[in-house]
Chain A
Amino acid sequence: MDHRPQAWGRPRDDVYGAYDGSYLNNSGPRTVTQSPVVTGTSVIAIKFKDGIVMAADNLASYGSLARFTDVKRLRTFLGTTVIGFGGDVSDMQFLDRHLEELAVDESYEAEPTIDEDDQEAKKASQLNAGNIYRYLQKLMYQRRNSFDPLWNHILVAGFDSASKPLLGSVDLRGTSFTSPSLATGFGAALAQPIMRKYAATEEDAAKLTREQAVGVIKECMKVLFYRDARSLDRYSIAIVTKDGIELKEDEQLEKQSWAFAERIKGYGTQTV
């Protein structure tokens, strides 16, 4: 009898030939996590004078199938920061749970022993949007270096340690930057030019009122729904200010006009 464990329960080598264990040698890179499965499309955000407005629709697509229509892609962190996720939904859930863990760790920290009434000092001792933004950037870059990226493009909105509005973007390669307006996915092509018309620079953004900013975002969501085939007319919108976060998760696109569609020719079963 052959006593080697790898031979147990195997057909006899002299009859069937040697065991081909080549499939066990997974020396190549892992590839299962290198393509997204259930995905969310654009996230868009714009700064205004008191804060930031962010929006994303409530759709999670399975390829081109509109699979889940009530998916909340704007997540809040510690009641001060909003994080919008484009890309793979399961990776978003992973990150959401990971951030939840960070928030729990944050609560372990005893209250600072400085004067409790000093709100500024208290704020400075808490994780803020700037910290989360840089943390996510490092996390995403580390994951891309291990060829196991989290397939997301993330927008972070909140306030930095100087209590200035912060809007940052991190993609699946760890590329990160901040800007007065940001969009992920298709939005980078369709919504970004519209938002730039209103807030090309930080100075322009600092002149926008909250109503104007919300108006711009709603307009962009409408354009995205017109042109992006993986989008939905139900969306979430979050407004981050110093007072906290207003998050509405079941908004409906209003005043749509599909008149322009008449003029589009050459698609589908259309023959004319």
Chain B
Amino acid sequence: MTSIGTGYDLSNSIFSPDGRNFQVEYAMKAVENGGTSIGIRCKDGVVLAVEKIITSKLLKPGANKRIATVDRHLGVVSSGMLPDGRHFVDRARDEARSWRDNFKTPITTADLASRMGNYLQAHTLYQSVRPFGITAIVGGFDAQEESPVDGEVGNGPSCGAGGKNPDKKYGGPFLYMIEPSGLYWGYYGAATGKGRQAAKAELEKLDLTGEGITLEEAVKEAARIIYVAHDDSKDKEFELEMSWISGKDGPTKGLHQEVPKALREEAERLAKKSLDDSDDEEEEKKDGDKMEE
């Protein structure tokens, strides 16, 4: 960054002459130091996973969750500054609640991403605030079936204007990633934090855009990707935290929930195994090279 020290990096709300907002770029640096988070959108749900670096042996295993539930069908995970992530979740919960107050219906994933995108963008405009030091991944499953509004007591008309169309499918699984600048896109697979490059490379190998993969496959892939992404920085221990969201007829019944212990442990076992296998292959290759020599 050649423009460092020119005075344009001291505040939000001031552009550098070449059109950059340095504070936002520094915020992204904060994200790049955080533990890897990923999200996978599969055909029947969404999986969120995070590499939770253990900063002290005195922390209780499994405590201090990093993935949060916003509304019942929405989950958020973020990389970067943890307190900023907490505030992001608080704000997202407020947004989801006010949406329910106004419209008597759960907020859609897209609408929540939009609201939160706007909120983060607002933090790039004023001197009095700093941008968020996080990139957040928002996953959700919007109800696919005709669902009643909150507090609805009757059936409503069965046909005609305002009537029901039982065959029509709404919603589905959605995944968004929101960056410190307020930029947000919808993704099939999203990764952020320290290991994002490796994670993205792995995500691109999955068939997410075409046929799609199943939720259970996605859980296993997510665990594997977090292990792969961690591989580069062997310095610290980490815990794997995973959550998933399926539709009404799936394993979580439309709710955002932690992946059950048994399934998570199985996924971790497979992840470790695949890592060992690939290590062996590399070693074999090396051995092979040597032999040729």
Q: Which residues of A contact B (CB under 8 A)?
A: 60, 68, 70-73, 89, 92-94, 96-97, 100-101, 103-104, 107-108, 110-111, 113, 116-117
In the complex, are the beta carbons of A107 and B62 less than 8 A apart?
no
Is residue B288 contacting chain A, with contact meaning CB distance below 8 A? no
Pair A60/B261 contact, Cβ less than 8 Å: no
Q: Are A101 and B100 in contact (CB under 8 A)?
A: yes
Kindly state whether residue B20 has any CB partner on chain A within 8 Å. no
B61 (CB) vs chain A CBs: closest residue: A113
Binds A, one of B47-55, B66-74, B137-145: B66-74
Shortest distance from the beta carbon of A83 to any chain B beta carbon, whole Å? 13
Q: A101-B100, A113-B60, A117-B261 are in contact. Are A108 and B69 (CB under 8 A)?
A: yes
**Contact, CB under 8 Å: B151 / A93:** yes
Which of B68, B151, B257 makes the CB contact (< 8 A) with A94? B151
Q: Verify B100–A70 contact, CB threshold 8 A.
A: no
Indicate if the CB atoms of A89 and B153 lie closer than 8 Å: yes
Asked if A104 and B97 sit within 8 Å, CB to CB, the answer is yes
Q: In the complex, are the beta carbons of A111 and B258 less than 8 A apart?
A: yes
Q: Are B72 and A107 neighbours in the complex by a CB distance under 8 Å?
A: yes
Q: Contact: A73 with B153, CB < 8 Å?
A: yes
Name, among A73, A103, A107, A113, the residue most crowded by chain B CB atoms within 10 Å (CB to CB): A107
Q: Contact at A100–B93, with CB atoms within 8 Å?
A: no
| A to B CB contacts below 8 Å, 14 in the list | A68-B154, A71-B154, A72-B154, A89-B153, A92-B153, A97-B100, A97-B150, A100-B100, A104-B71, A104-B96, A104-B97, A107-B256, A108-B69, A117-B261
- B4 to chain A: which residues have CB within 8 Å? none
- Chain B residues 248 to 272 lying within 8 A of chain A, measured CB to CB, are 255-258, 260-261
Number of B residues near A (Cβ < 8 Å) is: 24
- Is B65 touching A97 in the complex (CB atoms < 8 A)? no
Which B residue sits closest to A71, measured CB to CB?
A: B153
Q: How many whole Å from A151's CB to the nearest CB in chain B? A: 15
A231 to chain B: closest CB distance in Å? Answer: 17
Report if B63 contacts A (CB, 8 A): yes
Is B285 an interface residue when CB atoms closer than 8 A count as contact? no
List residues 50-95 of chain B with CB under 8 A from any CB of chain A: 60, 62-63, 65, 68-69, 71-72, 93
Residues of B within 8 A of A103 (CB): 72
Residue of B nearest to A250 (CB): B155
Query: Contact between B69 and A107 (Cβ–Cβ < 8 Å)?
Result: yes
- Of B68, B72, B260, most buried by chain A (CB within 10 Å of CB) is B72
A221, B71: Cα distance in complex, Å: 38
- For residue B164, CB closer than 8 A to chain A, the reply is no
Contacts of A101 in B (CB 8 A): 97, 100
A117 to B257, CA, bound (A): 15
Partner of A100, one of B60, B150, B258, B260: B150
Residue in B60, B150, B261 whose CB lies within 8 Å of A116? B261
Q: Please name all residues of chain B whose beta carbon is closer than 8 Å to the beta carbon of A107 when the two chains form the complex.
A: 69, 71-72, 255-256
Please report B residues at the A interface, Cβ cutoff 8 Å.
Answer: 60, 62-63, 65, 68-69, 71-72, 93, 96-97, 100, 104, 150-151, 153-155, 255-258, 260-261
A93 partner residues in chain B, CB cutoff 8 A: 151, 153
| From A72, A100, A111, contact of B153 by CB (8 A) | A72
Is there an interface contact between A113 and B62, defined as CB atoms closer than 8 Å?
yes
A100-B151 contact given A107-B69, A113-B63, CB 8 Å threshold: yes
Contact B255 A70 (CB under 8 A): no
A104 and B72 within 8 A (CB): yes
**Chain B nearest Cβ from A240, distance in angstroms:** 18
With a CB–CB cut-off of 8 A, which chain A residues contact B100? Answer: 97, 100-101, 104
CB pair B151–A116 under 8 Å, yes or no, is: no
Residues on A with beta carbons closer than 8 Å to the beta carbon of B155: 70
A22 CB to nearest B CB, Å: 35
Given contacts A101-B97, A101-B100, contact A108 B68 (CB under 8 A): yes
Please tell me if the beta carbons of A70 and B258 are within 8 angstroms of each other in the complex.
no
CA distance A29 to B100 in the complex (A): 31
> Considering the chains assembled together, what is the distance between the CA atoms of A113 and B154 in angstroms?
40
A68 to B153 CA separation, bound complex (whole angstroms): 10
Taken together as a complex, chains A and B put the C-alpha atoms of A110 and B69 apart, in Å, by: 8
Complex interface: chain B residues within 8 A of A71 (CB): 153-154
Given contacts A113-B60, A113-B62, A117-B261, contact A108 B153 (CB under 8 A): no
Nearest CB of chain A from residue B270's CB, rounded to whole Å: 19
- Chain B residues lying within 8 Å of A100, measured Cβ to Cβ, are 100, 150-151
Q: A165 CB to closest chain B CB, in angstroms?
A: 24
A103 — nearest CB in chain B belongs to which residue?
A: B72
Residues of A within 8 A of B151 (CB): 93-94, 96-97, 100
Which 9 pairs show the lowest CB-CB distances between chains A and B?
A: A93-B151, A110-B65, A116-B261, A97-B151, A71-B153, A107-B72, A70-B154, A96-B151, A70-B155
Least CB distance from B54 to A in Å reads 15
Q: Name the B residues within 8 Å of A110 (CB-CB).
A: 65, 68, 258
